[in-house]
Amino acid sequence: MRLAYAALLALASTTAVAQQAPMAAPGSKNPAAVTGGTYTADPGHTLVTWTLDHLGFSPYTGIFGEVSGTLTLDPKNPNAAKVDVTIPVSKVVTASAGLTAHLTRAGKDGGKPDFFGANAADARFVSTSVVAKGQTAKITGNLTLNGVTRPVTLDASFYGAGKAPAMMGGKENVGFRASTTIMRSQFGLGFGVPMVGDAVKLDIAAAFQK
Beta bridge partners of 204: 48, 178
Flag whether pLDDT at 5 surpasses 70. no
Report if residue 19 sits inside a domain.
no
Residue 53 lies in a domain: yes
Average pLDDT rounded to a whole number, residues 157-182: 91
Looking at the 3D structure of the chain, how many domains does it have? 1
- Range(s) of the domain holding residue 179: 28-209
% of residues, the chain, pLDDT over 90? 80
Confidence band of 11 (pLDDT split at 50, 70, 90)? very low
**Count of beta carbons in the 10 Å neighbourhood of residue 192:** 16
pLDDT of residue 19: 52
Asked if the model's pLDDT at residue 169 lies above 90, the reply is no
Residue 5 belongs to a domain: no
Q: What is the pLDDT of residue 23?
A: 73
Question: Which H or E run includes 98?
Answer: helix 97-103
Note the pLDDT tens digit of each residue in 33-50.
Answer: 999 999 999 999 999 999
| CATH value at residue 157 | 2.40.128.110
Residue 13 is predicted with a pLDDT of 52
| Number of other residues whose CB lies within 10 A of the CB of residue 206 | 24
Indicate the pLDDT class of residue 21, thresholds 50, 70 and 90. low
Q: Give a yes or no: residue 2 inside a domain.
A: no
Other residues' Cβ atoms within 10 Å of the Cβ of residue 25: 10
pLDDT bin (cut points 50, 70, 90) of residue 2 is low
Q: Which pLDDT score is estimated for 82?
A: 98
